[in-house]
Amino acid sequence: MCLQTLYSRHKLNTRGKLQLLTNYVYKLRPNQTQTSKMSAWVDLLRSQYNWCLNDRIVQYNQQFIQGDYCDIKARGEASPLTCFVSKSGATGNPWKDSKSDKEGNTKNPRRSATDIQITALPELKAARPWFAGIDSTVLQQNIKRLDTAYKNFFDGRGFPKFKNRSNFTSFTFAMGVKIQGSRIYLPKLGWMRFHNSRPIPNGFTIKACAVRKRQNGWYVSVRIEDKSVPDYLTKSLKDVVKVIGCDLGITKLVHLSDGTQIENPKFSTSKKAKRTLKIRQRRVSRKAKGSKNRRKAAKKLGLFHQKIGDKRQAYQWKVANKIVARNIDAIALEDLNISGMMRRCRVKVDEKTGRFLKNGQSRKKGLNRSISDAGWGELILKIEYLAAKQGKVVIKVNPKYSSQKCRNCGHIDQSNRDGEKFICVECGYHEHADIGAAKTIRDRALEIVRGDSAKLGACHLNAQKISPRSKSKRGEFGNLGNKDIKAEMS
């Protein structure tokens, strides 16, 4: 969760409608005691997270049948009555004795790994008294955080990893949070001042809050809910008439099917930013490890990274607002596999000598940095949120061959595209490559809406045609409809 920007989320209630969940982010002003206590909490919670993850991994290895054995330490043979293979287990009593059926007999439903580890928290506090100083809901939410990581893994994402100081900097309160003016009460931390930059409206109740440490201090993200706010009603596909297509890129951040092009500021890959990052990173590497000077240099480097991230977040919100605010019913986006696009090239080995051959990874490194700097995934999330808030539909389509397929004759060829130019080698159809791809994405979304093949003849009125063999400068064209949203914002 990003704590620097405002995120609003929608959650289904029991009736299937949408409830408004909004996160307000504030910068905390803790005293020295509270700062040291929160830093200690983060270290303890990180050790608890890693221990729980290791516990689940060990239990899985012991429960998984390896040959004739089901217990690695005891070397006990596998029995179908006592041995099983579970997705995630934990040390403790796996059965719950608190429930009973209608006849009064005790039920023994099997607990999940999360329930087992949460139930063992009192034992943890008794054995390790320093954990008793942490709020109980914070410890429980820390285990649920691990459970969410496992759920993502079973859904096809990466396996949960052990945390270090750089990627574990936050904790969450589930209850007990109060706000009075410019003061906030956090359980077992006491009243704390904060910059009340955005007052909470009347009618909202506090559901939870997350505290996170950043380079320039501590931030709190307060989640509030108002059930009296009217639910957002999203249009059905049958009511969709106007659709705009979006093609994400690097030279330009977004190309729209109406000819608009959105600039890509390149916050971390510009010449000035790369030079600054290079200098500050070099200053860190030249300092002695563990020294105060190294920590000071690392803090300056972190502050610059934070500045880049904040700029990117603010710009993406402006771009998403400009796209969603148009007079349209649906937004067509590419269904991109961004992690697959940034994956390393396969290793090439010479069969005779066994030496590694060039595989193009050194050239692809720059492309991966540009994709990461563009932040396509975060931009898509912002567009989806704003579209849901305004009752508009987001349609994700397959972007395959969207910039190589001719919109006039349907011919697909990689040589059709030359940079930002598109010239069909079959029929001579001529237009801007990325804007044509945005139009193709829009038409594919219309096919999904209408359920049949969309007729594309009316979409080629403004396109130019030249002979495929013509190389005269008159046939060259610039960026069609070069409308810059950056100029519109000013």
CA–CA separation, 175 and 296 (whole Å)? 36
Q: How far is CA 231 from CA 20, 228, 327, 466, in A?
A: 8, 9, 21, 52
Nearest to 244 by CA among 452, 435, 405: 435
CA–CA separation, 471 and 430 (whole Å)? 13
Report the SS3 class of residue 7.
Answer: strand
Catalytic-labelled residue, pool 334, 373, 420, 443: 334
Give φ, ψ of 186 to 5 degrees: -115, 125
Q: Which residues pair with 393 in a beta bridge?
A: 330
Catalytic-labelled residue, pool 55, 147, 431, 434: 434
Find the angle CA(447)-CA(485)-CA(481) to the nearest 5 degrees: 65
Annotation says 378 is catalytic = no
CA–CA separation, 184 and 192 (whole Å)? 5
Catalytic-labelled residue, pool 247, 373, 420, 443: 247
| Phi-psi sector, 135: left (phi>0), alpha (psi -120 to 50), beta | beta
Q: Which helix (H) or strand (E) holds 283?
A: helix 271-286
Q: How far is CA 295 from CA 37, 292, 299, 302, in A?
A: 20, 5, 6, 10
Give φ, ψ of 20 to 5 degrees: -85, 120
Annotation says 247 is catalytic = yes
Give φ, ψ of 247 to 5 degrees: -115, 120
Task: With beta carbons less than 8 A apart as the criterion, state whether 383 and 320 touch.
Answer: yes
Task: With beta carbons less than 8 A apart as the criterion, state whether 119 and 92 touch.
Answer: yes
Annotation says 334 is catalytic = yes
CA–CA separation, 114 and 88 (whole Å)? 9
Active-site annotation, residues = 247, 334, 434
